[in-house]
Chains A and B, each alone.
Chain A
């Protein structure tokens, strides 16, 4: 299987552990990564100011991947939704479609259609499969209890595409359990990380992140598992700032699913970028041994 990786702004410029661990585990699983030069932002921030601008950005990125003819894996839930939303608008609105087509031609970009967008959960759960992942485990994560954070933008709205159940997502927990750990449901599983509010209401944004981490911590989980660079930046990267905002002590290890999968497949923590996590992942690594 061949795929291209769409890192999105946050993984490309800051959350390097996300891309690093994804590349490492894909190599280990025999999935070839095709490089695509010229990617830009998916268009998300521009959605606040107009429609044509953001759809153009989403379309140009999809066109770049379409030229390579491989599925595009999104490392950020927001990018995933923007691509699906752009696809919807381009198929239902001929006026917009014409505008975007001519803009793409102006930038010298190819086809408007044809790229398959894949969320990491779909890749690991639906394509590679839980059974196949179980076979690759060299170091089962026995005795660990890990909370799954699927993230809002991956599962809603159901009408756009259905990566998982929007009210009771089960794929990430089952992928965590495939590694030998437990991942029970918890009441705050659907709570938002606050990423989207960071640029307009910083305090509320950090409060959401802090309260999510605090809740997971209070349930006695050994750590929190993410599949999105935006959400991870809030829950791991900004955990200290969130703790200050809510005035609580937070010390919950937060890891990408790809980091966890890599560890269970016996890869070294540095190869998976665990030295880049800001939360106390040491505690978790010690438990894994």
Chain B
């Protein structure tokens, strides 16, 4: 991730996005990122950091300084594994994971694309109720389904109604 000195040279803070960000923080009763004092406890215990270089404290810091759009555009936004250790351990009760997820939602509502595989399962949920179709699974050389295993059938919701109400819910953006 880019250092703060380079960041300050490259762009200016975005006050309108900061406003939008804090309005949602207030609405969803999220912990206030402004309380962060940059102790790095989140990053030092971050599951994803070692593999993807995501730094939760840095996300919080840039947002505190007003660089919301820059963080929304960061590819590392999608590198959080949501182990929730940062939220659990923060001595100031800030939840970097919630900051990251709020930024994801702001990005999406401003029209940005989301990772393909994630987009696929979201589509599946809206159309079929689940992230994927009901599958047959392999046992040795053959494949079996729920019924053959003695499991009761899955009774899906009325999909037409389900999809239309869900789409309506998804259009009601808070972010």
Q: Which secondary structure characterizes the binding site on chain B?
A: loop
A192 touches B47 (CB 8 A): yes
A40 touches B129 (CB 8 A): yes
User: Chain B interface: which of A174-182, A196-204, A259-267?
Assistant: A196-204
Give the size of the chain B interface in residues (CB under 8 angstroms). Answer: 61
The number of chain A residues touching the other chain, given as a range, is: 35 or more
Contact of B146 with A by CB under 8 A: yes
A45 touches B131 (CB 8 A): yes
Known: A99-B172, A157-B95. A201 touches B29 (CB 8 A): no
Kindly state the separation between the CA atoms of A199 and B28 in the bound complex, as whole angstroms: 25
Least Cβ–Cβ distance between B169 and chain A, in angstroms = 4
Q: Which of B47, B149, B169 contacts A273 (CB 8 A)?
A: B149
Contact of B150 with A by CB under 8 A: yes
Contact of B85 with A by CB under 8 A: yes
Contact of B1 with A by CB under 8 A: no
Q: Which of A16, A40, A108, A166 contacts B125 (CB 8 A)?
A: A40
Contact of A158 with B by CB under 8 A: yes
Least Cβ–Cβ distance between A192 and chain B, in angstroms = 4
B84 touches A157 (CB 8 A): yes
Contact of A93 with B by CB under 8 A: yes
Known: A205-B81, A276-B137. A46 touches B109 (CB 8 A): no
B170 touches A46 (CB 8 A): yes
B132 touches A13 (CB 8 A): yes
| Nearest-neighbor residue (CB-CB) of A156 within chain B | B84
Kindly state the separation between the CA atoms of A12 and B154 in the bound complex, as whole angstroms: 7
Contact of B3 with A by CB under 8 A: no
- Which A residues contact B (CB, under 8 angstroms)? 9-10, 12-14, 16, 19-20, 23, 35, 37-41, 45-53, 56-57, 88-89, 92-93, 95-96, 99-100, 103, 106-108, 152-153, 156-158, 166-167, 190-192, 194, 196-202, 204-205, 207-208, 273, 275-276
Excluding A52-B170, A93-B28, A156-B88, 19 further A-B contacts by CB distance (< 8 Å) are: A9-B131, A13-B131, A20-B149, A20-B151, A40-B125, A40-B130, A40-B162, A45-B131, A50-B109, A96-B27, A103-B169, A152-B83, A156-B87, A158-B88, A196-B81, A196-B83, A200-B79, A202-B117, A273-B149
